[in-house]
Amino acid sequence: MKKKYALALMLGAAVPGAGAIVLNHLGIIPFWAYAAVLIAGFPLFLLGLGLFWMAREGKADVPFLGY
Amino acid sequence: MIAELLFATFFGLLLLGIHRKVIARIQRRPGPPVWQEILHMLKFSFKTTWVPATASAALFVGVVLVAIGIWTAALLVILSGGSLLVIFAIYMLHKIVEHGFGLSSGSPYGKFGGVRSVISAASEIPLFVTVAAIAIFTKSLMISDIVAYQEVHGPLLATIPLAAVAMYVVLLSKMPFGPFSIVESKELVSGYKTEHFGVWRAGLEVCNGLKTYVLLMTFILVFIGSLPFWMILVAMILVTVSLSFVCALSPMLSPYDSVTIQTLIAGLMVAYVALLGVMS
Amino acid sequence: MNEIGGAPLFFLEFGDIVIYFTPFTLTLFLLALVFSVFVLVSRPERQIDIAFGGDAYYAKEISLSELRFRRFMSIACGLACMGAMVTGDVFDFTLFVSLVGICNVGIVAAVRSRHVQNAAYQYGLVALAGTVPMFAAAAMVAATTGTLSMLELAKGTATVPVAARALLVLGVMGEGMAPFYAAKAEMFRAPGAPYVIMCSLSSLLIFLRVAEVILLI
């Protein structure tokens, strides 16, 4: 995955998440909607962050088969 | 809520680090520093990452998302005092996640780890469900009701100690290096997580941190009741250290023995719950 | 019923057959949905096997016709599983669970390998035998209480005999393949992902749901 897409994924998860925090704090959206955004967004954010941060992209290879 | 989520991740990983340190000290090794698991998570997210050529790609990646998502949901359920049955469900779904991790890569090692995870579900799920015996006393499975019950009647640990033992065995089977941790046994390289490297493994570490935190928190809320927050954290460390003693002093069982012993314990629990049901 | 799986969030009524979502059943439903989507979009794995006696290894491929059939069965299994998670009727529940059993046999039996088909045959026998106690349980519930609706039974006006609950659990254990049949290594000789994951998912989901059902009724 290109780092650009990873950054987009990370921000795409972070922005609705931050929005949900603010909206829930202001009492505009109920708790369950906030929880749903968080449950869906947190994993995507973490993976996006990791893929954005990772050292480099490699080529696909067959699994580890033993020493 | 974000703050709690991050705290739970890091504190859970710290508990796993303490677990490793205590095991090492019992076995008279120096052991890694207690923050080693946190470093692991950060290290893995900086590693080269790809999807193996033989993997079932969507499942390979998707299962990492599901792993983090379900334990985030479990944390929210705990914090909002939801149903204990939902925690059962998420615990069970973690079995599917382990199976998915192992199955999706095409590696024989991962596959065996995943298959062992499904076999052990046969004994761990009944074990966890026997914890529902508390419903006989509390008339409810909502964690908030269970905590409220204990404020009036004292800790359930004293009322139904054997149900606490069942939950303790569940915790034990989820700790690494324990007698029942057959899914990541060393003859399978790293078991179900063999092929999830780099960022995928970092995601799995986050899931492990959250899982440890949530399961220990459930144990304390359900069997000891509500304590001040710092006391809960201290109690979690104490439970972890006791688990470390068990893990350090017992060998890993073979898969069938592990399932047999857990099934025997689950059978005892069912008899105990039936007895409680008749007496009440 | 508030105390079992959380307060109900939503009711969908089809006459006297009610579908309801509690936090518990909603969690299970969503997971069945998510994994069905994975099955739909995922390519199958190419399982690596080692040729004994040397360093050689080979990747097993899955043929297109086999892929299509297994994918169809997996998705059918996902749908049946979603139905079993949210239904509020004991008889519908048993129907969905027996459908899950049939689809699980289908997922495994599509593989053209003698070992795998033997395993599928044996599991099929158990699944067929499992339907007997399960439908017997539903019949006993209807005969003793006069209703099959879980919402009516949850009110506690009529007690369901312990034998009916025991038979229901027994039947569902027969239908759910994963934990008991995972020990049959034959089943994993064929490339499994993402289809075999539906076997284990659906089995464990119906176990959880039956735990809720017997606590409820």
Handedness of CA B2, B4, B9, B11 (dihedral sign): positive
Of C48, C59, C179, Cβ closest to residue B121: C179
The model's pTM = 0.87
Of A46, A47, A58, Cβ closest to residue B50: A58
Whether the pLDDT of residue A67 is over 60: the answer is: no
Round the average pLDDT of chain B to a whole number and report it.
Answer: 85
Q: What is the pLDDT of residues A1-50, one digit of tens each?
A: 677 787 888 888 888 888 888 887 787 777 777 888 888 888 888 888 88
- The whole domain housing C58 covers 2-216
Cβ neighbours of residue A48 closer than 8 Å, sequence gap 6 or more: A6, A7, A8, A9, A10, A11, A12, A13
**pLDDT attached to residue C1:** 47
Distance from CA of C181 to the nearest CA of B (A): 8
Cα–Cα distance for residue pair B235/B127, rounded to 1 Å: 23
Contact criterion met (CB < 8 Å) for A42 and B110: no
Q: What is the pLDDT of residues B115-167, one digit of tens each?
A: 888 888 777 777 776 677 787 777 778 888 888 888 888 788 878 888 888 88
Contacts of C196 in chain B (CB under 8 A): 103
Q: Which residues of A touch B (CB under 8 A)?
A: 17, 21, 31, 34-35, 38-40, 42-44, 46-47, 49-51, 53-65
Please provide residue B123's backbone torsions phi and psi, each rounded to the nearest 5 degrees. Answer: -105, -30
Please report, for chain B, how many H helices and E strands are present, in that order. Answer: 12, 0
State what percent of residues in chain A have pLDDT above 70. 79
Look at chain C and report how many structural domains it folds into.
1
**pLDDT attached to residue A30:** 78
- Using pLDDT thresholds of 50, 70 and 90, give the confidence band for residue B18: very high
Cα first-last separation, chain B:
39
Contact criterion met (CB < 8 Å) for C193 and B119: no
Residue with tokens 């992902």: C193
State what percent of residues in chain C have pLDDT above 90. 8
- What would the two tokens of residue B137 be? 């006393």
- What would the two tokens of residue C82 be? 């979603």
Minimum CA–CA partner of A63 in chain C: C48
**pLDDT attached to residue C189:** 65
Distances (CA, A) of C38 to B58, B59, B160, C32: 6, 6, 42, 10
Which residue blocks in B175-228 are alpha helix, DSSP H?
A: 198-223
Residue from B8, B11, B36, B18 nearest B245 by CA? B18
Q: Is the peptide bond before B30 cis (omega within 30 degrees of 0)?
A: no
Q: Over range A40-65, report the average pLDDT.
A: 74
Contact criterion met (CB < 8 Å) for A65 and C48: yes
Dihedral in degrees, nearest 10, Cα atoms B204, B207, B212, B217: 180
- Greater confidence, C81 or A60? C81
Q: What is the pLDDT of residues B173-230, one digit of tens each?
A: 888 888 888 887 777 777 787 888 888 888 999 999 999 999 999 999 888 888 888 8
User: Exposed/middle/buried for B155, CB within 10 Å: 0-12, 13-18, 19+?
Assistant: middle
Look at chain B and report how many structural domains it folds into.
1
Contacts of C59 in chain A (CB under 8 A): 62
Length of chain C: 217
| Assembly ipTM | 0.83
The least confident of B61-65, B67-71, B254-258 is B254-258
**pLDDT attached to residue C187:** 60
Highest-confidence segment of A57-61, B165-169, C16-20, C111-115: B165-169
Of A31, A42, A47, Cβ closest to residue B199: A47
Q: Over range C188-217, report the average pLDDT.
A: 81
Q: Over range B78-94, report the average pLDDT.
A: 85
Q: Half-sphere exposure of A12 toward its Cβ, with a 13 Å CA cutoff?
A: 12
Chains in contact with chain B (at least 3 beta-carbon pairs closer than 8 A): A, C
Contact C192, C40 (CB under 8 A): no
State what percent of residues in chain B have pLDDT above 70. 99
